[in-house]
Structure 1
Amino acid sequence: MPAAIANASTSHRSHRAQRWRAGIRRRVPRIRWPLGSGTQLLRPICTLDPVTSNPAGSTPAREPQPGTQVLSDDDRRKLLERIEPLAAAFTDAGHRFFLVGGLVRDALLGHGLTGDIDVTTDAVPDQIAELAASWADTVWDQGKRFGTIGARRGSTTVEITTHRAESYDSGSRKPHVRFSDDVATDLSRRDFTVNAMAIELPDWSLLDPFDGLTDLADGVLRTPSPPEGLFADDPLRMLRAARFSAQLSLLATPELVAAVRSSRPRLAIVSRERIEAELTKLLELPQPSAGVRFLDDTGLLADLLPPWRHADAALPAAALDDVAHLGDRVALRWAILLGPVCDEDAATRCLSALRCDNATRKKAAAILRATRALETAATRAATDDTARRTTARQLIANHEPELDAAAASLTAWGQAVHGPFVAELAEVRATEGDRLRHLPIDGRRVMEVLGTSGPAIGEALAWLRAQQIEHGPLDADEACQLLTAWNQGREH
């Protein structure tokens, strides 16, 4: 996992890091604003090269080798094309201008300067609004009481926040905001060291007062200040710890894990909507299993999903990583998580309590219904060879859109379906497929054939569906002929 650095942090974990960073500081000249055009070299941000992420602690991080640029001049110039006049407005007015948050972290990981642009500064909100107005098409101040001003120019959106030093009441997560002129104080209140780094413009120097870069290199998830206080301030950070452990392959320190376990009751003050949003972000990741294990190990999973509190079932965490290629991955992962400990009704109640959206709840319930149906169908087919094809048709007619997810769920629970029925099901899906899910004629056509209306129409449609399950898909002419014969038989 590559990472990059420009100057020394205020605290260092080793003399080796001190010497290395000091060497970079001596070798790299500063440049002044503005940065000029294409021929001028930007101050390089160098990498720990190579860097490994070792969440299991299997091998140590390698010797830092400065000199390889992760952020290319082209990447940085593209960012400056978007915000250089804004940053210049702040520095010309005597204020500092720091890029912070995920943009910095991901840039140091070699992902380029992507994502939202978050900025912190020593300017107060009224000053921010005035300076931003000279650059932006639109400025908004809904977050002004928390020190945040939003600004947009074209397609570029920036959130600029005054350095903060805030405190919280024990019964609320709404902060009492105090502004600060010290960026280190602001960084100390952020959730994790890997997010507590800032790049100052215009000289592209990295501020890393809590050694977040080393934590990225070592695969460590750690807080910049005592975790109990940070989790008391904003309990949602406990769920963010789960997400970052999976997203960045970071292993939480024992102190962080212990703080989560002791701080769990504090999560009750957080709205269900915010909790659901954070859990969805976790389940959207390509490989969320490490985060789900973190939730389980700390007790948060049982708090959020009550059916797991006294369950004997094994948590199918690893299987969550295997279904990233399937559609509706969040709904499928909810079904995989809840299926071992509850039925579809209880699962729906759990997701409703978490304020999951209606589409996700319905899809997860449909997957669980299809999973139970697949399990039952496989058992039936195993005991009655003659019923394999009709059983397969019935399953396709009722559950085709969820069958792949159902098979993945059974595999996740250690109950994968094997044998002749799997081959039969695959063949019927390939040759008859969607035609089994729909009749070739509708109720209006049935009324024309039968010359009647009322309950007989529903009875006729149900009979036609049964014929398709028994004999295979029908076309419109075949369906009409069968209905005529069926109706004549009823009349006699």
Structure 2
Amino acid sequence: MPNANNDLPAPIAERTPQSTDALNHVQRRAVSELLRVSPVADDLARRFQEAGFTLALVGGSVRDALLGRLGNDLDFTTDARPEDVLKIVRPWADAVWEVGIAFGTVGCKKDSFDIEVTTYRSEAYDRTSRKPEVSYGDSIEQDLVRRDFTVNAMAVLLPQKEFVDPHDGLEDLAARVLRTPGTPEESFSDDPLRMMRAARFAAQLDFEVDPAVFAAMKAMSDRIEIVSAERVRDELNKLLLAPHPREGLRLLVDSGLAGHVLPELPALRLESDEHHRHKDVYEHSLTVLEQAIDLEENGPDLVLRLAALLHDIGKPRTRRFEKDGRVSFHHHEVVGAKMTKKRMTALKYSNDLVKDVSRLVELHLRFHGYGTGEWTDSAVRRYVRDAGPQLERLHKLTRSDCTTRNKRKAGALSRAYDGLEERIARLQEQEELEAIRPDLDGNEIMQILGIGPGPEVGKAYKQMLELRLEHGPMEREAAVAALKEWWAAQS
């Protein structure tokens, strides 16, 4: 299949009718070739045809095929109602699911393909609803006009492979611009989440948003509040996990949407003091996010990206102008961790994710007490224990948080952290830091002290853990003596 990205020409205004015809030919050939090597689409289409229905590859699948980046997720649309779709796919698919059937979507798996078949439909919100009202349509044109953006409003009718593009999505794809099939006001009124989706596509595809679309986003940003927190969260995740999240986040902030879904982000745009003695926290946070992405090793990491974006959200609340003219943000990491927990909980993130991201925000400044390596082994142990399973992410977040343009200072910080990581590695090899436990467990404590289960055992365990962190592993005899000495002092 030709590489569609290389075939896309310059912006529309620079093209001639001949180049547009050539574009259409190349892209249609690309889609046709894609379908030729994907017999699953033709096989499914024949089954719909035999049952008296039509089937078309649609939306993001067509867009991605034209961009040369289609994976194994295929989206289809049909005039068949969901119950008819089920009758057709059940004997054919390896697995079928009905989670989205209330919205006209039937999902199934065939070989390595994940497939969704959705009945022609239109959907709209009223002023107070959090869920779209779905009504079925009768034509592919009706279905395409209700799509979010023109680049997602293209289809390929099957099995004849007829390209359908009533809203010039192909031209917008070539120009890398996001427009809506109808007016943006109508589109965003139908589903306000599309405003966030515009930012997400800017981040995913590196597309620009049409000025009319951006104007509507600004004017209607408050409409996002009728969308459920879960849908907002899922869209935010897709944006953050995209290749260019900075561009999408800028759109959220500049349009006013972030003020409704993540108000802590625009709040980072602190007005500088007259001497400009502190950096732009908003731009700094976006840069830290990008630098954290550069350190990812196994694909996009949502926990790391959220922590990088939110690590300084406590600064606006803790900013103080000192008498000597300096600006301080004392304990902003502690305040920020609490703010992170509150915002992520409101967005319905899982408890584990909230805990992990909040912990990273709370610990992101800890390294700066390390200085030139004067930490004791005890301090290093506590650093590792407090980070727990987030230690590797904390390494990446801490390194990403250095955005100074002073090469000497940046080099010194990097070398200092190299030194800390080397010390952690040595201690881990000697002491298994990730699994630090007291030298005596609860049963041994009860036996030695001659006590039964109760709060005293917990206190004794905590004391032995403190000794383990402070002094490292102890021989059993020394541990027993230390426990008895502490117990005598308690009595």
The TM-score, its normalising length taken from structure 2, stands at 0.75
Q: Per the alignment, in what secondary structure is the counterpart of residue 239 of structure 1?
A: helix
5 Å matches for 1:326-341? 329-341=301-313
Query: Secondary structure at the residue paired with 2:367?
Result: helix
Match of 1:283 among 219, 227, 240: 240
**Which of residues 343, 357, 364 is equivalent to 2:357?**
364
Q: Secondary structure in 2 aligned to 1:159?
A: strand
Counterpart amino acid of residue 202 in structure 1: P
Summarize deviations over 1:175-215 as a string: whole Å, max 9, x none.
3525132x233212111122111112223332222232332
Asked whether the equivalents of residues 293 and 317 of structure 1 are also in contact (C-alpha less than 8 Å), the reply is no
What SS class does the counterpart of residue 306 from structure 1 fall into? coil
What displacement does 1:126 show? 6.1
Q: How much does 1:147 deviate?
A: 4.6
The aligned residue for residue 442 of structure 2 is: 443
Aligned residue pairs: how many? 436
Residue 405 of structure 2 corresponds to residue 405 of structure 1: no
Q: 1:46 maps to what in 2?
A: 26
**Greater mean alpha carbon deviation, residues 207-216 or residues 100-109:** 207-216
Equivalent pair of 1:323/1:329 in contact (CA under 8 Å)? no
Q: Which residue of 1 aligns with 2:473?
A: 474
SS in 1 for 2:189: helix
Residue 290 of structure 1: how far off its partner (Å): 1.7
> Which residue in 2 is equivalent to 1:42?
none
Secondary structure of residue in 1 paired with 2:364: helix
Q: Give 5+ residue unaligned stretches, structure 1.
A: 7-11, 26-44, 48-65
* Change over 3 Å in CA distance of 1:201–1:24 after alignment to 2: farther
Residue aligning to 1:323: 292
Paired residues of 1:168 and 1:176 also in contact (CA < 8 A): no
Query: What is the match of residue 147 of structure 2?
Result: 190
2:367 is aligned, of 370, 374, 397, to 374
Change (3 A) 1:17 1:123: farther
Partner of 1:31: none
Q: CA deviation at 1:489?
A: 8.3
Native 8 Å contact 1:393 1:428 kept in 2: no
Please report how far the alpha carbon of residue 155 of structure 1 lies from its aligned counterpart in structure 2 after TM superposition: 6.5
Contact 1:286/1:321 (CA < 8 Å) preserved in 2?
Answer: no
2:417 corresponds to: 422
- Matched residue, 2:331: none
Give the alignment's Cα RMSD to 1 decimal: 3.8
Matches within 5 A, 1:50-449: 70=30, 76-80=35-39, 82-92=40-50, 95-112=53-70, 114-123=71-80, 128=85, 131-132=88-89, 135=92, 146-150=103-107, 158-165=115-122, 167-172=124-129, 173-175=131-133, 177-181=135-139, 183-308=140-265, 310-311=267-268, 312=270, 313-315=281-283, 316-324=285-293, 325=296, 329-342=301-314, 343-375=336-368, 377-378=369-370, 381=371, 386-410=374-398, 411-412=400-401, 414=403, 418=413, 421-433=416-428, 435-436=432-433, 437-449=436-448
Give the CA deviation at 1:395.
1.5
Structure 1 residue identity aligned to 2:343:
C
Q: Greater RCO between the two (CA within 8 Å, min separation 6)? A: 1
Cα displacement string for residues 76-125 of structure 1 (whole angstroms, at most 9, x for unaligned residues): 35532x3434311333466432101222221111124x333322234455
SS at 2:481's partner residue? helix
Give 1:251 deviation, angstroms: 1.2
Distance 1:468 1:143 in 2: 53
For residues 51 and 177 of structure 2, the distance between their equivalents in structure 1, rounded to whole angstroms, comes to 38
- Whether the 8 Å contact between 1:165 and 1:180 is mirrored in structure 2 is no
Note if contact 1:148-1:161 (Cα within 8 Å) is conserved in structure 2. yes
* Amino acid in the other structure paired with 2:58: V
CA distance in 1, matches of 2:386, 2:191: 45
Which has more helix, going by share of residues?
2
Q: Distance in 2 between matches of 1:396 and 1:403?
A: 7
Distance 1:130 1:403 in 2: 51
Q: Following the alignment from structure 2 to structure 1, what is the Cα–Cα distance between the partners of residues 110 and 188? A: 35
Tell me how far 1:275 sits from its aligned partner: 0.9
Change (3 A) 1:228 1:177: same
Going from structure 1 to structure 2, the CA distance change for 1:136 and 1:308 (only over 3 Å counts) comes to closer
